[in-house]
Amino acid sequence: MKIFQIRVSGIVFIDKRLLLVEHTKNEKSYWAFPGGRVEYGEKATDAIKRELMEELELKVEVKRFLFYNESLPPEYPRHSLNLFFLLKPLTDKIVLHPDNVLTGYRLFNKNELNNLSLFPRINEKLLKNFDKWLKEAIS
């Protein structure tokens, strides 16, 4: 079955490091941005707040919309439009709620992002804007 979905992802900095979540599928792990699917009738900004609360018990403020990324892999029948938001955490306490895919989280320094297995693969955009987004997020 072919699926089209809108997803939301958060760019979150805690202690000047980027928060990423670990996903594990078919015994392979990769890093992703916290977030998830937008539900029917839900605003994207409400969805990102809900997803961070569900995954990490992290209450956030939406600073602004940053960019979108579109994913349509030929081997996978899922077309995703991913909306990225800059978020400000309202606490630094994280409580992970693991599920069948979400298996962990970690805070990354900028220099650790170069060769990271990140999905979606936006490493270059992330590195280019890391300092600017960090400054904006903590202001």
Q: What is the mean pLDDT of each run of 10 residues along the chain (139 residues)?
A: 92 97 90 96 98 97 96 79 97 91 96 89 94 94
Q: Please name the amino acid found at residue 52.
A: L
CATH number at residue 110: 3.90.79.10
How do strand 78-89 and strand 60-71 relate by DSSP bridges?
Answer: antiparallel
Please state, in angstroms and rounded to a whole number, the distance separating the CA atoms of residues 107 and 22. Answer: 11
Domain that holds residue 34: 3-138
What is the tally of structural domains in the chain? 1
For residue range 30-70, list pLDDT tens digits in order.
999 999 999 999 999 999 999 999 999 999 999 999 999 99
Sign of dihedral through CA atoms 7, 9, 31, 94? negative
**Token duo for residue 81:** 């439009």
